[in-house]
Structure 1
Amino acid sequence: MAAGLFFTIGGGWLIGLGGSWYFLIAGLVLIASGVLIICGQAIGAALFGLTFIATVVWGVWEVGFTFWPLVSRLFAMAVGGIVVALSVPLLTRARTPRLIGLGSAVALVAGVVITAISAFSPKGVIHPTETAAAPQAAPATAPDWSAWGANDQGHRFAALDDITPANVNTLEVAWTAHTGETPQSTGSGAEDQNTPLQIGNQLIVCTAYGTVISYNVDTGAENWRNESGGTVPAWQRCRGVAYFDAATASFVADEPDGITPDRTVSPQRVFVPTVDARLIALDITTGERVATFGEDGVVDLKIGMGEVKPGYYQQTSTPLVAGNLVIVGGRVADNNETGEPPGVVRAFSAETGALVWAWDPGNPAVTREPLDEGGYTRGTPNVWSAMSFDPDLGLVYLPTGNATPDFWAGERTEMDDLYSSSVVALNVSTGRVQWHFQTVHHDLWDFDIPAQPVLYDIPNADGTTTPAVVTVSKTGMIYLLNRATGEPLADIVEQPVPQGNVEGERYSPTQPYSIGMPMIGNATLTEADMWGATPFDQLMCRIQFKGMRHEGIFTPPGLDHALQMPGSLGGMNWGSVSIDPTTSYMYVNDMRLGLANYLIPRDQVQGGSGIEMGVVPQLGTPFGAMRERFLSPLGVPCQAPPFGTLTAVDLKTHALVWQVPVGTVQDTGPMGIRMGLQLPVGMPTLGPTLATQSGLIFIAGTQDFYLRAYDSRTGAEVWKARLPVGSQGGPMTFRSPDTGRQYVVITAGGARQSPDRGDYVIAYALPS
């Protein structure tokens, strides 16, 4: 009766919104069933049985035989059916109804048990239709992991084959180190998102608070540490440091003002970005600041930026070392106000710290210093994620964001719109734009490009190669471009998109859809796509959905409630992709989280900040905005699983090769309660992958506490190791120059949704 009452009230509400009639009808029948059972009438049990049968028919009609959507509709009803069926002997003395009740209970128990067992195997897996080429032998020596993405092109690939799909299950912890700095976060505070570097026999790690530590690669013993980190109100993280070697660096730009660098001082150094907007050079041997770089080893990145409020401008991603330059962008606080710090990208001498060039997205006349005392153009699109470098073409590739705030853009200038949410190729010597390609026009969704553009030479049938740059986006689209010209290498078409009606805003009539590459997790949702751990929260998700406007990826924000899917986290995010050049497979991990939002008239905005969910003020515009994750009352995503996957895409054929859900609910669950069950529903991922020549993919950025390895040819999970806490770090691998042993290293500081935090650096290796 209670279930029927819930269904009836909720179902009536849903019908009023134009939704399904099932819940109202089922609710009324369940109420009748409950009344009759209370009155001792066996017909009540029969009514429940008919309701269950009708629910099965309705469920199959809505979602077919797809596992998780059917479980949401049928599992709780089946458990209730067992109780009702076993109650039949209490309702009648007749032999036949008793036997029917007992038989129904046995059948339902069997169904529940089979379903529960089946739930522990991955669902929705896309298997490869062709067998990939066997892994090639790795070269005798492999390069160091000397850049955030393994190299300046961002491949996240290691030409190593000691650890293979056949022996990876024997990996064991070789050593564990502790940074001594445990990140504390509520989602907007400190988070460990680091990918270490390996230079010779040193492993270089940075903490969320900006401390840099060098460990011995074979023992984990600490060589040195430098505590140069700063403090800011929020968003403390260090995704990586950059490495420079004066002996091997190409020289792509002259030192300004005729400066002659002293190359005998710390020729090998690492550059540390800090959350309080400094760029620090450290001697890789001692960890001490390089005295000849900037002012005693420090370049103050706030110079030329005008007013910078605490936390409004900071460095969270790795700098890019391109030849003899170190290039930085910067994270600008989203959604607080207009006229925030500039989105300028600057190149400094990697040897002296002198400013060589600057690219100001708001003023093409700027080539170096600002043209006036106010600094570079304020409020312009910024580059907060990692950049890439092609030394042969002499181009640097930037992933841009959009001018803040995100959800109201009526104040943006033509120049703001020109370079927002784009891949921008700059001449490395001058900083001038060579070409750019925009993935979102007049971005109203915070769909900035979050990932490092990855450079890859696609092999052609005639033995030649095509220079490509590939970028993944929060929209769930993949853009494949010629990196010399910016022309598409896979079909991209301008398609009409929904138009908004908020006074003072303007809307792009079309958006560029990358139809020549696979789309991942961005299908337009319908009411039938709504999900829940039970039919009750599924009903509430349906009510939420029917109460919102949803018109696909580019549903514009308005004064009414709108559903943005994917939301501002994606789709794909900053972890970027990895590429195996032996197969031309690219590996993409994603999250599938919707965002419910609406604009709030200025006189009604109360409180709020530009960080995470809730009200964001957007000062300087007519509206604030409300942002909320599209979750059920139990705190699980409202759309059906998977909520995160790992996908292989063939860059030669542009085809999706395989796809598997990644992550379980072991360390999370409804209302934040850990389920403790390894149900592979596929959870949102946040962090990079690693590909190896032996045919392995490693990933740790899931919501459960594991480092996993997959067969890169098939997508089969071949190994996983339990971590002490979750990880958003990037796994990396290398071969020790001293012992020849291959290690896989991951940092584990905690996953975003979990309160568990740590300070771990863990190295795995085959038994010695």
Structure 2
Amino acid sequence: MTATLTAIVLALAGLGLLIPGAWLAVLGGSWFYLVAGALMLLTAWQVFRRSSSAEWIYGGLILGALVWSVWEVGFDWWELIPRGGIIALLGIWLYLPFMRRQLLTEDGRPAPGLPLALPLLAAIGAAIWSWTGDEAGHAGSLPTEVVSAEPDLGPSAPPGEWHQYGRTQYGQRYSPLEQINIQNVAELEQVWQYQTGDVKLPQDVTETTYQVTPLKVADRLYICTPHDLAIALDAATGKEAWRFDARSGLESDRQHQTCRGVTYWRDPARAEGELCAERVYLPTADARLIALDAKSGAVCTFFADEGTLHLENGMPYTPAGFYYSTSPPVAVGGRIIIGGAVNDNFSVYSQSGVIRAFDANTGALLWNWDSANPDKTAPIDWMNGETYTANSPNSWSVFSVDEERGLVYIPLGNQVPDQLGFNRSPAVEEHSSSVVALDVATGQKAWVFQTVHHDLWDMDVPAQPVLIDLDIDGQTVPALVQPTKQGDIYVLNRETGEPILPVTEEPAPQEGALREETPAPTQPTSALSFKPEALREKDMWGVTLYDQLACRIQYHRLNYEGRYTPPSLNGTIVYPGNFGTFNWGSVAVDPERQVMFGMPTYLPFTSQLVPAEDIPPPGADQKASEQGLNRNEGAPYGVIMGPFLGPLGVPCSAPPWGFVAGADLRTGEIAYMHRNGTVRDMTPLPLPFKVGVPGIGGPIVTRGGVAFLGAAVDDYLRAYDVTTGDQLWQARLPAGGQSTPMTYEQDGRQFVVIVAGGHGSVGTKPGDYVIAYALPDGSEG
């Protein structure tokens, strides 16, 4: 009976490969699955006949699968095992003594086992060998010499403080503290934990996330929460000093429910200790900006309308939940400069992407820069019905400021819908998916640099520009470092927008685009680039042969000719996907060594355009920008999008999906890339396998040579050696760490703080934690 059941299992396994394997072969893919299915069926027949020839057939399959697998992917354990795991396990079953006793030779003796033993030993040996190495990424070291002993770190923050989202207006995410360093970071321990009480609610939108980076000024930390609480904490103990509830309520049409941070500003015209001499500005999910006294949390009623600025003023459309600022504004020269996020792919009747400067004291509008009407920056008269351009490219991320040069740097997104470009004006075409420098005083444009031409892939510039002075050929050059979703990191002269590291134009795919569409013939690529290699069929992955086979079939059915393959009615692989290689977490730079540390992520998406007449009536599952049906109300096409996943819900592309990486900003050389993160929180069992997982969030670096990063979809905060990328320490978090950490000094002790609250779109555990780490008392130095 055992032989009969084994034959049935082998037959079913073979049919599961033979039939879809034939389909794959017809599509022009690998013949291996078809052949393997046929050999399994033949083995099943011989097992049913109780013939020892089953060993020879199946042994040949094991050897053939091993040779084919190594030919396709080398000795990469994570790619070898799915290809050969099931085949090897069935082979081991056939080799067991009680099975061999049922498979007889022509003279009636039990099967010898040798035809299976040798192939199985070869397969097991290859698995062991592949486990000992890592063919993904590469090792190396960043230069350690100090290039600039007294670098420009940006204004306004003493060494032990963190005054802006990226510590200073330069967005470097660099701290000059070195009490914690590569020699002692492994001794870090948790010293306090605070919970805000703001937890994800059942009625919240999917993308309810906690992405805040705390600010540290004097002896206080300042944070916000997804539901718009502003909270001040004691920097030494984490004890709450005050809290303010903006009462922004819930709104089902919000695409996001998040807060990345608040803005701190000191009014030089007010005496120290005077009410609202120091302020915290809180952006809210119902499109307000509220000014609070930093000492007490009291509302600064002289600002705007009793302390509240209404950001929907001047908008051509004002439906609830469609617009607000998810990122903190910048405060410079007595001005608050702010952008806003619009709901991606909801409707063409969207709010403007206008950038506005308001008086930090009165809330009066000082200038407005609308990317669809870029030459008119004088304040509009919204009280008499004047409005901004509807649906112009917006900026939802964080700005940077060079106060000395009087420029603010804005990362820009795209016009809704992202995948349709045939109705864009020349001004929209010029400014979509770009970084623009505006005059702080007037809003006039100084320069613009576009990172994607005629963007059809939602490759909006997501990250805060990083300002740093670079030593190039003996000259000090004021630079701007701009990470992008598509993997390019542009290093530009921040005075002129001209590239410092070379930028080339490369041919871009054209096939499969809508007849109304004209994709750009070329796309820019930076000399410093983490762009992925084009996907091939052999890059398709799965936990088993079967879901891998399904992914291979999908690969051939979808349109794909590499990066920038146009969206299509048939369906297109978008790689890098919508989360991008880099996102709002940006990168961290060391201005002394002039190097960067970042977390490139590689996760393909798919998109399929849907004619408007074929879109079903609205449903509750149609509100996410990254997954599902995006309706694009008012446009001729909607779009179905999401990660490129197999039948078991795992990515169709082979791991690693996430790295840590270091690069020299002066040369553009990538020194190292290492797998980052485990599948512990991605699988039903807590398996700590270091596969290299996706993440969203950002790193910081310190003069102590340490980089800190949460972000990955396993719940850890980690420390790395900036020079080599080697992991030095990790701490388990109680929730997802999809935020950017920060560090500061209080009472002679250096702290590292991260917010752990999870991310709705990537499915990490929600929470409300603020956690601080430090060296044990007496071990500093």
Task: Report the TM-score range of the alignment, normalised by the length of the smaller protein.
Answer: over 0.9
Of 57, 61, 77, the match for 1:67: 77
Equivalent position of 2:166 in the other structure = 149
Alignment of 1:71-90 (within 5 A): 71-86=81-96, 87-90=99-102
Alignment of 1:643-654 (within 5 A): 643-654=657-668
Q: 1:757: Cα distance to partner? A: 2.0
Of 424, 429, 434, the match for 1:417: 429
Equivalent position of 1:255 in the other structure = none
Does structure 1 residue 444 correspond to structure 2 residue 453? no
Q: 1:519: Cα distance to partner? A: 2.5
Equivalent position of 1:48 in the other structure = 58
Please give the secondary structure, in 2, of the residue aligned with 1:495. Answer: strand
Does structure 1 residue 396 correspond to structure 2 residue 404? no
Alignment of 1:155-166 (within 5 A): 155-166=172-183
Distance 1:553 1:620 in 2: 28
Q: 1:143: Cα distance to partner? A: 4.3
Of 458, 470, 495, the match for 2:506: 495
Cα deviation, 1:500-530, whole Å, max 9, x if unaligned, reads: 542322322222122x11334x221111111
Does structure 1 residue 196 correspond to structure 2 residue 211? no
Alignment of 1:463-542 (within 5 A): 464-499=475-510, 500-514=512-526, 516-520=527-531, 522-542=532-552
Please give the secondary structure, in 2, of the residue aligned with 1:53. Answer: helix
Equivalent position of 1:611 in the other structure = 624
What letter is aligned with 2:697? G
What letter is aligned with 1:148? Y
Distance 1:437 1:398, change over 3 A: same
Task: Decide whether the 8 Å contact of 2:564 with 2:574 is kept in 1.
Answer: yes
Distance 1:428 1:95, change over 3 A: same
What letter is aligned with 2:660? L
What letter is aligned with 1:448? D
Count, aligned residues: 745
Equivalent position of 1:97 in the other structure = 112
Cα deviation, 1:558-603, whole Å, max 9, x if unaligned, reads: 1111111111111211111100122211112122121211211121
Q: 1:633: Cα distance to partner? A: 0.7
Distance 1:130 1:417, change over 3 A: closer
Distance 1:227 1:425, change over 3 A: same
Please give the secondary structure, in 2, of the residue aligned with 1:690. Answer: strand
Of 746, 750, 756, the match for 1:742: 750
Q: 1:111: Cα distance to partner? A: 5.8
Distance 2:192 2:36 in 1: 58
Equivalent position of 2:656 in the other structure = 642
Moved more, 648-657 or 587-596: 587-596
Task: Decide whether the 8 Å contact of 1:136 with 1:693 is kept in 2.
Answer: no
Q: 1:112: Cα distance to partner? A: 5.4
Task: Decide whether the 8 Å contact of 1:422 with 1:439 is kept in 2.
Answer: yes
Does structure 1 residue 757 correspond to structure 2 residue 766? yes
Task: Decide whether the 8 Å contact of 2:165 with 2:214 is kept in 1.
Answer: yes
Equivalent position of 1:212 in the other structure = 230
Distance 1:132 1:90, change over 3 A: farther
Equivalent position of 2:574 in the other structure = 564
What letter is aligned with 1:647? A
Q: 1:351: Cα distance to partner? A: 2.0
Distance 1:25 1:110 in 2: 24
What letter is aligned with 1:447? M
Distance 1:123 1:733, change over 3 A: farther
Please give the secondary structure, in 2, of the residue aligned with 1:78. Answer: helix
Distance 1:436 1:476 in 2: 19
Q: 1:109: Cα distance to partner? A: 5.6
Task: Decide whether the 8 Å contact of 1:406 with 1:443 is kept in 2.
Answer: yes
What letter is aligned with 2:411? P
Moved more, 292-301 or 541-550: 292-301
Please give the secondary structure, in 1, of the residue aligned with 2:650. Answer: coil
Of 633, 639, 655, the match for 2:647: 633
What letter is aligned with 1:399? P
Equivalent position of 2:7 in the other structure = none
Distance 1:279 1:495, change over 3 A: same
Alignment of 1:225-624 (within 5 A): 225-231=243-249, 232-233=251-252, 234=254, 235-247=256-268, 264-363=274-373, 364-370=375-381, 373-462=385-474, 464-499=475-510, 500-514=512-526, 516-520=527-531, 522-607=532-617, 609-612=622-625, 613-624=627-638
Task: Decide whether the 8 Å contact of 1:246 with 1:263 is kept in 2.
Answer: no
Moved more, 126-135 or 440-449: 126-135
Task: Decide whether the 8 Å contact of 1:81 with 1:108 is kept in 2.
Answer: no
Distance 2:341 2:572 in 1: 27
Equivalent position of 2:8 in the other structure = none
Moved more, 304-313 or 327-336: 304-313
Q: Which structure 1 segments of 5+ residues have no match?
A: 250-260
What letter is aligned with 2:183? A
Q: 1:135: Cα distance to partner? A: 12
Please give the secondary structure, in 2, of the residue aligned with 1:97. Answer: coil
Distance 1:156 1:57, change over 3 A: same
Task: Decide whether the 8 Å contact of 2:149 with 2:592 is kept in 1.
Answer: no
Distance 1:224 1:291 in 2: 18
Alignment of 1:116-135 (within 5 A): 118=132, 124-128=136-140, 132-133=144-145
Q: 1:276: Cα distance to partner? A: 0.7
Distance 1:323 1:646 in 2: 37
Per the normalisation by structure 2, the TM-score is 0.91
Please give the secondary structure, in 1, of the residue aligned with 2:542. Answer: coil
Please give the secondary structure, in 2, of the residue aligned with 1:193. Answer: coil
What letter is aligned with 2:751? Y
Distance 1:61 1:110, change over 3 A: closer
Cα deviation, 1:384-438, whole Å, max 9, x if unaligned, reads: 1000000121100000001111111222222211211010000111000000011
Distance 1:498 1:353, change over 3 A: same
Task: Decide whether the 8 Å contact of 1:329 with 1:383 is kept in 2.
Answer: yes
Equivalent position of 1:252 in the other structure = none
Please give the secondary structure, in 2, of the residue aligned with 1:643. Answer: coil
What letter is aligned with 1:477? D
Task: Decide whether the 8 Å contact of 1:123 with 1:681 is kept in 2.
Answer: no
Moved more, 720-729 or 125-134: 125-134
Distance 2:13 2:124 in 1: 20
Please give the secondary structure, in 2, of the residue aligned with 1:356. Answer: strand
Moved more, 70-79 or 94-103: 94-103
Distance 1:432 1:288, change over 3 A: same
RMSD over equivalenced CA pairs, Å: 2.4
Moved more, 648-657 or 407-416: 407-416
Q: Which structure 2 segments of 5+ residues have no match?
A: 1-10, 152-156
Equivalent position of 1:727 in the other structure = 737
Q: 1:264: Cα distance to partner? A: 4.9
Q: 1:755: Cα distance to partner? A: 6.0
Task: Decide whether the 8 Å contact of 1:135 with 1:695 is kept in 2.
Answer: no
Please give the secondary structure, in 2, of the residue aligned with 1:551. Answer: coil
Cα deviation, 1:129-166, whole Å, max 9, x if unaligned, reads: 56634899999971410000111110001111111122
Moved more, 567-576 or 585-594: 585-594
Task: Decide whether the 8 Å contact of 2:316 with 2:389 is kept in 1.
Answer: no
Moved more, 413-422 or 745-754: 745-754
Distance 1:49 1:245 in 2: 75
Distance 1:714 1:187, change over 3 A: farther
Q: 1:262: Cα distance to partner? A: 12
Of 691, 696, 706, the match for 1:681: 691
